[in-house]
A and B are shown apart, each in its own frame.
Chain A
């Protein structure tokens, strides 16, 4: 065992005390330089050993202290990540050369950035995958495995998804950007929350189908219990066409299934949403209904095509087209080249995918081919047919309806002073197209027809109509900016940036009052206490039929 004789150890000590040895410099040096430097004080023969001991005993300690001090100074690092770093650092058994890109150091930094897989995560994943392996019956096909097996696989998937963030913000600026996205997302969720709007809005094109009926029936379970959602995923995983669905997960708009981090439903974007208890039930109902509907429609269509003798399995393009059509028909449009800008778009516009989906729904029967075209035509026809049936029946019963596509009330039925959209949100898009084709618009309040693009001073153009169409679909936060620029709100009230009660009420209404609540309040106020009318309007609004009240 090496030891330093007294003469040299005294010389070493004295050099430290007198400042001949500069500890800071000693720490910064690499191994050969330090050996050379130390040889002046402890002799050539001892320098290597002294340095080796210095590195293992003192330098390592210094590095450990330095890294822990760095970890403590990092803002926004949660306690468990910090502890993970500290545990790793204290277990180090050798000093590293800071001048070199050291794998140990990189590993620690990856922990701080949140990109490394933690030991706990690895342990849980290993346990769950082993549990799945034990339940796996090798004599059976993967599609024939037991429900217990798929339940464990779902747990594994869910765990991995929960531990894999969809975005990580390494810098302060990016963190601010993501916080802003989260705030806008949470605020939007507040506006759409507390209702069960998916069935008569996104799901409207499938109203009356067995997939819609079943999803609607199960939606209340999803709202009530998180385990119901997990059960839905187990069903999806265990389905014989789960692999096809998984392959087209993104296109089909599935927001669960698989291990990759999920895309989110437009109405519930952002990390904050899942942390607000009041929104959880509504989110589960929304997510559950749409995943249930999309998945089952997709696999049932595959089954039906296979049974008819025409095969779609193995035809990736046909499967993708079918998934695209079902997604568009259920309110999840494809943003095309703007896909990568989806988060930014969602900050400015209330629901860009929904807008895209409505246009796609109209064009899919023309541009798609094969089974996808058939599905697109069927869903559009179903939407048009059921809308016409409701409007026709209501008119025959003596109710007031609007069937002129140039009017903002097109596709709506009038209940007292309120208009209820029965087209699943498709009407405004048809109106926009109709106004463009006829260059005429019909007033929703007076019923008068106006020409567009007359060239007269102050008259409206089609560009104004199109601009209104877009600005009226602004996200709640950007709609405040819009109203401030215009100087008035959607319902004509003055909006000024000031510390006043009116402005505070306006902000509260814009930011925090859910659309469903606004609809119910407006309908009740205008119904003069007629509970039946209020109930019809409230029920429609609850399940996604848009209600507009003119005061």
Chain B
């Protein structure tokens, strides 16, 4: 990777890039900037924050082309990965560290975050997203902001009562896929707080299935894509983004060496945050205190601008050098190569968090789609199928026997009771799961959500109507099969009626043609501008101070 940098230093190839002066210092690139209008606040920020800025370039030059190639087969907005990265990460870790400390009053602080800061974060999170993706993220964030105070209070209370368990998460393997512990911080808080929600959003975007499709486009190998998916699904998106960047470089995604150089720089510079924040939150008390001090400043109102947070990163960087004797770049390169070679998510986390210094070569890992992994938190059982297979061999040692896969049996009552609670508390999320727009929380089943929704719909005509409208989705079709089992399920009749009405108009295609032609009429009617002067006056008056 460094070879590319050397090559460009020698050739001094001029290119146009859009990141700032701070990053240009010592750079081999010559900047050719056309005359530009006065800089916006955002542009200024980008100049002062080369990491974030450059990450945007990677997004534009590297990830987006990869994504574009995959888009034909992948419907999910994978392009969000690069955009979300840094902006979300420091906040996630910052907040999480405070929750860890049991700072219940942080909820109040978050609630009082000045609007410009919120806007900035929103901007960061949604940067790189386009059209519907952006809208979706915005809705998500707004929802998060709405529920954040209450959620944080609950989270803080939970943290107070479960300090040890949470500490274990960070000190053990940070595996949020463990639903019990994820419930403590990752999932429980993750769905509520906008910033963590953004991470969850990213994690939800790349599921193993999508990754395998991405892999099948030829841009990345399947194992690389699987690694991305597993990593992105882990607690820290910084790690995921870093590995992703590394893989993008390795996979020769674009064949453009200048871009590779940029990507390399991003990965290494980004590692300051990746290693620094993660490692120090766990190990370095003084850094933790600094972060606490920073938060105290936020609380007292001394700091009201998110940009100030970047100062923490510099300090962390210095501490890393003093503690390890290596620059963050060197440290990360070493660790990334170890982590990537291992292909094991838990080990990657351990390595990147500084918990272990050597990688134990892992056994061959076979990844299976998440939808095929048994769920459950009940009694641990050995796989009967695998046992029968192993018993077929002679001279089986105890070591061999210990390799028989185990799984946790699902407790049906617990699963249904979870699903009922989930549906009643998150009807919109439940509907999205059934629409196929979202995966069920890790460790839970689609069908549990359906069964609980269906149960609720028996008494709720509106919900029944919504469920019956899922006809065009795969799950809609599954619903129609499942409802056949229950002759009294109104969704069954509503779905049937909906299908019959569509058949009466001549089928789906005729319906779509008519919707398209009527849409044009509606839009014509809307774009006529039906507003009068008084409407505009009232609007301006209503938003004026």
Partner-B contacts on A (CB < 8 A): 2-6, 9, 12-13, 16, 23-24, 27-28, 30-32, 39, 44-45, 48-50, 53-54, 57-58, 61-63, 65-67, 69-70, 73, 97-98, 100-101, 105-110, 112-117, 119, 121-123, 125-127, 129-130, 132-133, 136, 142, 156, 160, 163-168, 170-171, 259-261
Contact = CB atoms under 8 A, between A and B. Distances in A.
A158 to B, nearest CB: 12
The 7 closest A-B pairs by CB, nearest first: A66-B526, A65-B530, A133-B488, A3-B545, A70-B525, A9-B544, A122-B461
Given A106-B515, A122-B465, A117 B543 contact: no
B75 interface: no
Interface string B469-481: 1000000000000
A9 B527 CA distance: 24
A115 B543 contact: no
Interface string B428-470: 0000000000000000000000000000011111101100110
A54 B493 CA distance: 41
Nearest to B492: A129
Contact of B496 (A50, A106, A259): A259
23 contacts: A4-B540, A9-B544, A13-B537, A44-B41, A97-B135, A109-B514, A109-B518, A112-B518, A113-B511, A113-B514, A116-B501, A117-B465, A122-B462, A122-B468, A125-B490, A126-B457, A126-B461, A130-B488, A160-B493, A167-B504, A259-B493, A260-B496, A261-B500
B381 interface: no
Contact of B488 (A13, A48, A136): A136
A57 B539 contact: yes
Contact of B529 (A62, A107, A133): A62
Interface string B523-534: 101111111000
A28 B527 contact: yes
A27 B501 contact: no
B505 A113 contact: yes
Contacts of B42: 44
Given A45-B41, A106-B519, 18 more contacts: A9-B543, A16-B536, A24-B527, A27-B527, A27-B529, A58-B536, A61-B535, A67-B522, A67-B525, A67-B526, A73-B525, A115-B511, A116-B498, A117-B501, A122-B490, A156-B493, A170-B506, A261-B500
B490 A130 contact: yes
Given A44-B40, A58-B536, A62-B531, A69 B525 contact: yes
Q: Give the interface centre of B135, B460, B465, B502 by most chain A CB atoms within 10 Å.
A: B465
Q: Is the interface of A mostly helix, strand, loop or mixed?
A: helix
Interface in B6-41: 40-41
Contacts of A136: 488
B459 A98 contact: no
Give chain B's interface residue range (CB within 8 Å of chain A). 35 or more
B31 to A, nearest CB: 23
Contacts of A27: 526-527, 529, 531
B132 interface: yes
A125 B494 contact: yes
Nearest to A166: B504
A50 B543 contact: yes
B493 A125 contact: yes
Contact of A66 (B458, B505, B525): B525
Nearest to B486: A133
A39 B42 CA distance: 13
B464 A133 contact: no
B292 interface: no
B167 to A, nearest CB: 39
Contact of B502 (A115, A121, A163): A115
A141 to B, nearest CB: 13
A37 to B, nearest CB: 14
A125 B497 contact: yes
A163 B525 contact: no
A113 B504 contact: no
Contacts of A54: 539
Nearest to B466: A122
Contact of A126 (B458, B497, B501, B543): B458
Interface in B39-70: 40-42
Contact of B515 (A39, A109, A164, A261): A109
A3 B543 contact: yes
B91 interface: no
A260 B519 contact: no
B505 A115 contact: yes
* Most chain B beta-carbon contacts within 10 A, residue among A113, A115, A116, A136: A115
A142 B485 CA distance: 12
A97 B519 CA distance: 12
Among B119, B123, B458, B522, max chain A CB count under 10 A is at B522
* Most chain B C-beta atoms within 10 Å of own C-beta, residue among A4, A117, A168: A117
B131 interface: yes
B317 interface: no
Contacts of B522: 66-67, 70, 98, 105, 108-109
A208 B236 CA distance: 83
B542 interface: yes
A6 B537 CA distance: 14
B138 to A, nearest CB: 9
Contact of B465 (A30, A65, A119): A119
Contacts of B506: 168, 170
Given A27-B529, A57-B539, A57-B542, A105 B501 contact: no
A66 B530 contact: yes
Contacts of B544: 3-6, 9
Interface string B159-200: 000000000000000000000000000000000000000000
Contacts of A44: 40-42
B219 to A, nearest CB: 27
B497 A168 contact: no
Given A117-B498, A126-B458, A168 B543 contact: no
